[in-house]
Amino acid sequence: MLAIGLMSGTSLDGVDAALIETDGHGHVRPIAFVGDDYSTEERAAIRRAVQRALEMEHPAEDRLIRTAEVMLTARHADAVERLLERAGLSADAIGVVGFHGQTIAHRPDRGWTWQIGDGAALAERVGISVVDQLRIADVAAGGQGAPLLPVYHRALCAALPKPVAVLNLGGVGNLTFIGGGDELIAFDTGPANGLVNQWVENDTGAPFDAGGALAAAGRVDGGVLATMLDNPWFALPAPKSLDRHDFTDRAAIGLGLEDGAATLTRFTAETVALALRLLPEAPRRMIVAGGGRHNPTLMAMIGEACGLAPEPIETLGWNGDATEAEGFAYMAVRSLRGLPISFPGTTGAPRALTGGTIRSPDRKARVA
């Protein structure tokens, strides 16, 4: 089946859209990818929605959040149409769209997670069936609802000697461990790009530390680093997950721009090292996807902290910018076929679970 996956991450870079051919099992063939950046105004609108959601005890109707949702849905539809144009395909050729939406608050401890995006409106606009709300069933069953990509990581790494780890460095970091028997363990590691991106943007207006240049020019403050690492969350066993705003850069306030960037970047590296200690055995390789792999300073610090060289996913012949979007295409196909997308070892769900709401272009919907 040809499937499109859509992703808008907590880094708020923009919308990623990927087209793959897959059977929802071991066959995955990437075909096309596009990435559309958010404007400054769009990013600000999402941040306002996030702030409003974090103030709520549970999801509720809200005009500000709905405005952001309408904008997000339109931007995702634009990305689908541009992807189809790039691939030279019509909507009729596509079996399904996997629509993650935008996480504005993740509160599994309260029994909910909130991704905005109107799947029915998207299906109507692009003329393709859409699977959205992929995290809801897992959280309702007592799982963390995250991370969801491990089942896709396992498909990508099928030919590699085990055990192997896949590290995703987005706004939040997460780690997938694939054991010798293809067993899965996965969990969030801590903030990945989120804190240093915010630090740099607050000071310079730039959305991230391009090439890790600021961090490379700075000095890590050992005292601030120790304070940030002194958090019992890091010792909690897997599975576990985070909201992007569960950690802040408050401890680094008072440092200069470069020293703050260096300290926050090293903090991310050390959280990965702490995560590796929770695994049942050391992985032979650590494959890295997500935007953080573009930061050579971060990648070098991860290697130093972990004693294991991180390898960009491109070493396997894949596009690391497309990995998350591809994963949601893959999971949408699994959802259509009633296959599990989350597991006890990845989200803490009581059993392997499928999930997602399937919405047809005529706006009918059924829950998988």
pLDDT digits (tens, 9 = 90+) for 302-340: 999 999 999 999 999 999 999 999 999 999 999 999 999
Contacts of 51 (CB under 8 A, 6+ apart): none
Checking phi first, is residue 279 left (phi over 0); if not, alpha (psi -120 to 50) or beta? beta
Give the separation between CA 264 and CA 266, rounded to whole angstroms.
5
The CATH topology of domain 2-141+332-367 is Nucleotidyltransferase; domain 5 (3.30.420)
So where are the chain's domains? 2-141+332-367, 150-316
- Domain 2-141+332-367 shares a fold with domain 150-316: yes
- List the one residue out of 162, 158, 191, 167 whose CA is nearest residue 287: 167
Question: Hey, what are 349's tokens?
Answer: 């769900």
Q: How many angstroms from the chain centroid is the CA of residue 197? A: 15
Give the separation between CA 106 and CA 122, rounded to whole angstroms.
23
3-state secondary structure of 302: helix
Question: Hey, what are 175's tokens?
Answer: 């780690």
- List the one residue out of 122, 184, 181 whose CA is nearest residue 149: 184
Paired with 184 in beta bridges are 178
Query: Mean pLDDT across the stretch 81-95?
Result: 98
pLDDT of residue 366: 46
Question: Hey, what are 286's tokens?
Answer: 């650590």
Contacts of 236 (CB under 8 A, 6+ apart): none
Query: Mean pLDDT across the stretch 266-289?
Result: 98
Query: Mean pLDDT across the stretch 166-179?
Result: 95
3-state secondary structure of 31: strand
Beta strand pairing status for 164-169 and 112-116?
Answer: unpaired
**pLDDT > 60? residue 125:** yes
| Packed helices 257-276 and 296-306: angle between N→C axes, nearest 10 degrees | 40
Contact present, 306 and 285 (Cβ < 8 Å): no
Chain segment 186-217, per-residue pLDDT in tens: 999 999 999 999 999 999 999 899 999 999 99
Burial of 116 (0-12, 13-18, 19+ CB in 10 A): buried
Dihedral pair phi/psi, residue 91, rounded to 5°: -60, -30
Query: Mean pLDDT across the stretch 339-368?
Result: 86
- H helices of 133-241, in order, are 136-140, 150-156, 194-204, 213-217, 222-229
Give the separation between CA 329 and CA 345, rounded to whole angstroms.
22
pLDDT of residue 105: 95
Tokens 């391009």 locate to 210
**Peptide bond preceding 147 in cis form (omega within 30 of 0):** yes
Contact present, 290 and 209 (Cβ < 8 Å): no
Give the separation between CA 113 and CA 186, rounded to whole angstroms.
18
Q: How many angstroms from the chain centroid is the CA of residue 49? A: 18
Q: What is the largest CA-CA distance in the chain?
A: 58
The CATH number, out of the four listed (3.40.50.1980, 3.30.420.40, 3.20.10.10, 3.90.79.10), of the domain defined by the range 150-316: 3.30.420.40
Give the separation between CA 253 and CA 268, rounded to whole angstroms.
17
The rounded mean pLDDT for the chain is 95
pLDDT of residue 367: 44
